[in-house]
Amino acid sequence: MEKLRTIKFTTATDQKLEKIALALGRSKRLVFVQMVDYFHRNKKDPTDLNDDLLKNSLSKSHKTYMGFIKSQEDLLLIPIKQGVDKMIGNQRDIVKFFNEQVLGANKTLLKNQHQMLERTAESDKVIKAVLQRMDGADQLKAKFLQILNSYIKSREELGSFKGREKEELAELTRKQVENL
């Protein structure tokens, strides 16, 4: 059997030890033994609140995490960023090319539409002129027929003996035809 030793401490310290033991679910003796083992193994000074060993441990962990993050950055983040930058550049080129092509096609289309409108307007003018001439030709034929019929009728009324009057009638008819 082990030999037990006695340590005297204040009531306030006993209350703190009891709270720790209750929180951990262990006996006060077991908690005390574990505290002594902890300080003995880690060579920590309980009065040093800025524990250098703890700082070193945290620093090593921090360096490990930073190394992991940097390796992930080299393996994943940088290639992803480069790929995204390249994709954005390609998309800009596509949009630029598309805009140039569409704008060029639209300008050509507008130019062709204006040319077609001009040609259509010219065609309308020509058609109107042809229609007017056709109407004019029909009217001219009608007037010519009137003159011819008037000539024939007047000639038949004169008879065959009046040569001078026939010449005057022929001259009058020629003037009327010229005035058409």
Read off the pLDDT of residues 88-97 as tens digits, 9 standing for 90 and up. 999 999 999 9
Nearest alpha-carbon partner for 57 in 48, 45, 46, 65: 65
Mean pLDDT, all residues of the chain: 84
Instruction: Provide the residue range defining the domain that includes 38.
Output: 10-46
Q: What is the pLDDT of residue 117?
A: 95
- If one counts the domains in the chain, the total is 2
Residue linked to tokens 């290639």: 79
Complete DSSP assignment for 147-163: HHHHHHHHHHHH-SS-H
151 within some domain: yes
Give the residue from 28, 6, 8, 7 showing the smallest Cα distance to 19: 28
Q: Can you tell me which residue has the tokens 């360096």?
A: 63
The residue with greater pLDDT, 12 or 137, is 12
**What single letter denotes the amino acid at residue 94?**
I
Q: Strand ranges (DSSP E) for the chain? A: none
- Indicate whether 19 pLDDT > 70: yes
Residue 171 is predicted with a pLDDT of 80
Whether residue 127 lies inside any domain: the answer is no
Query: Other C-beta atoms within 10 Å of 73: how many?
Result: 13
- Residue 108 inside a domain? The answer is no
Give the tens place of pLDDT for each residue, 124-166.
999 998 888 777 777 877 887 777 778 777 767 766 656 677 7
Single-letter code of the amino acid located at 39 = F
Residue 2's CB is within 10 A of a number of other CB atoms, namely: 4
